[in-house]
């Protein structure tokens, strides 16, 4: 016989104004169950979890918690203002008899001392403190709302082990697919105010969701056909000489009411990246670059080449210097040693993780249009701002809402909408997955896959890195970075472990013993300047590249004629052959120009 539930919510209803948020939601949690609570941004997941924790009151429905069961809740924005330090905040969550040592252990594992003053904490530090408070008592029921936000990869993998070893029942909200797959065994899908449950792991969610929506579409089609048949009977089956069939008239009214009350599934995000002109084949070349702050080396002796079409991930623990490395590769920050050369014709768009590019006082429409009218230009075509907003799941009435009133997920979507409207051939994404729901993440991954330009992304989301990256640059400790082919899982397979925390990083690989001087070949003489021939080639290469670019443009114009192939096959073939040679020549010239510039 199944154990009775520790926590039970039945027929939970809640609305804001005339809009229902929850309209009959149910949630049941038995001992040891691991449940993923899934739904779109704004669907009411966090609200339902607050009701489960007893921190919010619904308009209707029943909440039951087994007497004596302990429950802890991790909220997204914890308030520590009433406590003198972090340790006091965590200790306040312990019940009599709980192990105080565990609170100290968790704070240490999460990179906190306990002496931090709440007023000086960053958002990430506050979240880690709240996580320690929730985990410390080892409660019967653990409610976690986005626990991986602001955690780096070592902390996420530690959290998986820590929660996995606990005996608590778990209800988890997260956008991290890999974390959801590892932590949960059942799913509750909150959609349009109601919940559906499936006793399978998160890996099966997308198939299940698609089946449910397909069945709904079939039932809606059947309802529409039934209404059409009844309306046809009303028009032609009842005449003035016969008494109307009151029962059928009432049934038709009921059917129409069902159609009015039917809440259609929320539309999907429609993303389209405005692509600029093509860049050169070599986008970024870094040669032995280094950067230090005081005695601490952030980057040392790192070299890489990023080609057009690459999708490069940069991974490492918090504080390793990922943003510093990214800034050097994109030319924002000059290295202390070595050199970075950017390719030709780059059009770069950057999405920063702090959303600092958004003006909190501007409206959503002003942010997208640049305060110029009501049109957004996408791929050279004007679109009305409200129509473009709908592609990113914004309501028309939100056009005049200030950015400060948006949720974290909505600000993330707004930043994507603005960035994707600008022409580019190099996308730089710093933690783009923060606060995005799973459907938006799917669309973002598809757009990156179809993007013709180059992408550099900093992320702690392992599933996202696996899906989009062609190679990753990983932190190896003490300012050393290494380039690995493939995504995050490929890197783990090559190096034998994931990203380690800074304090646990493996020491630098000791250098091999130097051979005896007598046996060593004489070192080649260092070239400190270009030869006359090299300098002449460097001076003439730009003109040669411009000539090839003009030739390529002319050949493309010839081939753009739709009737050329049928009218003059020989000329079409010749133009195609010349275009291939010109593009290869331009790529070779760009490579040589960058090589000589680096030598210079």
Which CATH number goes with the domain that contains 458?
3.40.50.300
**Of 367, 349, 365, 372, whose CA–CA distance to 419 is shortest?**
349
Q: Tell me, what's the pLDDT at 278?
A: 57
Q: Tell me, what's the pLDDT at 84?
A: 93
Same domain, 197 and 91: yes
C-beta of residue 86 within 8 angstroms of C-beta of residue 80: yes
Residue 427's alpha-carbon distances to 21, 179, 409, 441, in angstroms, are 36, 26, 20, 16
Domain boundary among 207, 223, 247: 207
Domain boundary among 504, 519, 541: 504
Same domain, 201 and 212: no
R_g of the chain, CA atoms, integer Å: 30
SS3 category, 44: coil
Q: State how far the Cα of 165 lies from the Cα of 159, in Å rounded to an integer.
A: 10
Q: Specify if 513 maps to a domain.
A: no
Same domain, 108 and 233: no
Q: Specify if 522 maps to a domain.
A: no
- Convert the pLDDT of each residue in 37-71 to its tens digit: 998 877 889 899 999 999 999 999 999 999 999 99
Q: Tell me, what's the pLDDT at 584?
A: 81
Q: What is residue 398's DSSP assignment?
A: G
C-beta of residue 349 within 8 angstroms of C-beta of residue 425: no
Same domain, 342 and 491: yes
C-beta of residue 132 within 8 angstroms of C-beta of residue 107: yes
b/e map 494-523, b = 16+ CB within 10 Å = eeeebbbbbeebeeeeeeeeeeeeeeeeee
Q: What is residue 58's DSSP assignment?
A: -
Alpha-carbon 122 to chain mean position: 21
Question: Can you give the residue range of the structural domain that contains 289?
Answer: 282-504
Q: Specify if 524 maps to a domain.
A: no
Tokens of 499: 């990203």
Q: Specify if 21 maps to a domain.
A: yes
C-beta of residue 377 within 8 angstroms of C-beta of residue 421: yes
Concatenating the DSSP letter of every residue in 503-515 gives GGPPPPPPPPPPP
C-beta of residue 291 within 8 angstroms of C-beta of residue 312: no
Same domain, 87 and 160: yes
Q: State how far the Cα of 16 lies from the Cα of 22, in Å rounded to an integer.
A: 10
Phi/psi at 323 (5° precision): -65, -35
**Of 585, 591, 579, 581, whose CA–CA distance to 544 is shortest?**
585
Same domain, 472 and 581: no
C-beta of residue 175 within 8 angstroms of C-beta of residue 435: yes
Residue matched to tokens 């702090």: 354
Same domain, 215 and 343: no
Domain boundary among 229, 261, 293: 261
Residue 573's alpha-carbon distances to 52, 227, 520, 548, in angstroms, are 69, 60, 56, 19
| H helix runs in 356-434, sequence order | 364-369, 385-391, 408-420
Show the CA angle centred on residue 362, arms to residues 356 and 368, nearest 5°: 80
Same domain, 254 and 400: no
Q: Which residues of the chain have pLDDT under 70?
A: 1-2, 17-19, 223, 227, 229-279, 352-357, 379, 408, 502-530, 532, 598-600
**Angle, in degrees to the nearest 10, between helices 205-236 and 246-261:** 150
- CA-based end-to-end distance of the chain: 78
Tokens of 94: 């312990």
Same domain, 85 and 174: yes
Q: Tell me, what's the pLDDT at 240?
A: 39
Same domain, 165 and 253: no
Q: Specify if 523 maps to a domain.
A: no
Q: Specify if 521 maps to a domain.
A: no
Same domain, 445 and 570: no
Q: Tell me, what's the pLDDT at 233?
A: 56
b/e map 175-196, b = 16+ CB within 10 Å = bbbbbbebbbebbbbbbbbbbe
b/e map 25-50, b = 16+ CB within 10 Å = bbbbbbbebbbbbbbbbbbbbbbbbb
- Convert the pLDDT of each residue in 276-333 to its tens digit: 555 678 899 999 999 998 888 999 999 999 998 899 999 998 888 898 999 999 999 9
Q: Specify if 511 maps to a domain.
A: no
Q: State how far the Cα of 270 lies from the Cα of 569, in Å rounded to an integer.
A: 40
**Of 299, 312, 580, whose CA–CA distance to 454 is shortest?**
312
Concatenating the DSSP letter of every residue in 124-187 gives HHHHHHHHHHHHTT--SEEEEESTTTT--HHHHHHHHHHHHH--SEEEEE-S-HHHHHHH-SEE
The DSSP bridge partners found for residue 36 are: 172, 187
Q: State how far the Cα of 233 lies from the Cα of 238, in Å rounded to an integer.
A: 7
C-beta of residue 421 within 8 angstroms of C-beta of residue 443: no
Q: Specify if 463 maps to a domain.
A: yes
Same domain, 13 and 137: yes
Centre a 10 Å sphere on the Cβ of residue 580 and count the other Cβ atoms it contains: 11
**CATH number of the domain that residue 546 is part of:** 1.10.287.380
Tokens of 92: 């306040």
Q: Tell me, what's the pLDDT at 522?
A: 43
**Of 383, 368, 374, 486, whose CA–CA distance to 420 is shortest?**
368
Q: Tell me, what's the pLDDT at 512?
A: 36
Those residues whose C-beta lies under 8 Å from the C-beta of residue 47, and which sit 6 or more positions away, are 14, 21, 22, 56
Domain count, the chain: 4
């Amino acid at each position: 016989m199944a154990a009775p539930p520790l926590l039970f919510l039945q027929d939970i209803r809640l609305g804001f104004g005339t809009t229902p948020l929850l309209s009959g939601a149910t949630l049941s949690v038995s001992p040891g169950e691991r449940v993923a609570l899934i739904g779109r941004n704004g669907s009411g997941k966090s609200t339902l979890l607050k009701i489960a924790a007893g921190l919010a009151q619904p308009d209707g429905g029943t909440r039951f918690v087994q007497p004596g069961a302990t429950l802890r809740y991790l909220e997204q924005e914890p308030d520590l203002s009433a406590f003198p330090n972090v340790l006091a905040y965590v200790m306040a969550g312990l019940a009599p008899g709980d192990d105080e040592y565990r609170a100290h252990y968790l704070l240490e594992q999460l990179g906190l001392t306990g002496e931090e003053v709440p007023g000086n904490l960053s958002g990430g530090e506050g979240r880690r403190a709240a996580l320690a408070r929730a985990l410390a008592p080892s409660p019967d029921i653990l409610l976690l709302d986005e626990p991986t936000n602001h955690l780096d990869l070592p902390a996420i993998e530690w959290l998986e082990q820590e929660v996995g070893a606990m005996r608590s029942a778990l209800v988890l909200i997260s956008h991290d697919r890999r974390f959801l797959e590892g932590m949960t065994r059942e799913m509750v899908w909150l959609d349009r105010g109601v919940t559906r449950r499936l006793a399978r792991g998160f890996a099966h969610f997308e198939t299940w969701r698609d089946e449910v929506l397909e069945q709904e579409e079939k039932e809606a089609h059947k309802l529409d056909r039934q209404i059409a048949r009844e309306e046809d009977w009303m028009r032609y089956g009842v005449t003035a000489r016969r008494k109307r069939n009151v029962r059928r008239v009432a049934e038709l009214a009921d059917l129409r009411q069902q159609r009015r009350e039917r809440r259609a599934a929320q539309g999907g995000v429609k993303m389209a990246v405005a692509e600029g002109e093509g860049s050169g084949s070599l986008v970024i070349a870094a040669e032995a670059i280094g950067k230090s702050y005081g005695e601490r080396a952030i980057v040392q002796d790192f070299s890489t080449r990023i080609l057009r079409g690459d999708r490069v991930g940069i991974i490492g623990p918090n504080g390793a210097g990922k943003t510093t490395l990214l800034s050097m590769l994109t030319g924002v920050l000059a290295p202390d040693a070595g050199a970075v050369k950017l390719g030709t014709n780059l059009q770069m768009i950057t999405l920063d993780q702090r959303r600092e590019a958004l003006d909190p006082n501007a409206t959503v429409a002003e942010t997208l249009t640049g305060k110029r009218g009501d049109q957004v230009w996408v791929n050279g075509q004007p679109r009305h701002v409200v129509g473009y907003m709908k592609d990113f799941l914004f309501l028309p009435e939100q056009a005049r809402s200030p950015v400060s009133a948006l949720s974290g997920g909505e600000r993330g979507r707004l930043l994507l909408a603005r960035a994707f409207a600008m022409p580019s051939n190099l996308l730089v994404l710093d933690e783009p997955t923060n606060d995005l729901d799973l459907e938006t993440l799917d669309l973002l991954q598809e757009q990156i896959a179809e993007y013709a330009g180059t992408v550099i992304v900093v992320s702690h989301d392992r599933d996202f890195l696996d899906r989009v990256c062609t190679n990753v640059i990983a932190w190896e400790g003490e300012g050393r970075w290494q380039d690995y082919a493939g995504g995050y899982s490929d890197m783990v397979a090559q190096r034998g472990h994931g990203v380690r925390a800074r304090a646990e990083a493996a020491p630098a690989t000791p250098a091999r013993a130097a051979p005896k001087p007598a046996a060593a070949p004489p070192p080649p003489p260092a070239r400190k300047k270009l030869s006359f021939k090299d300098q002449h080639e460097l001076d003439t290469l730009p003109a040669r590249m411009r000539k090839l670019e003009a030739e390529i443009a002319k050949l493309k114009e010839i081939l753009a004629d739709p009737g050329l192939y049928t009218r003059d096959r020989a000329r079409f073939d010749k133009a195609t052959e010349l275009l291939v040679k010109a593009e290869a020549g331009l790529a070779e010239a760009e490579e040589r120009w960058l090589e000589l510039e680096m030598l210079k």
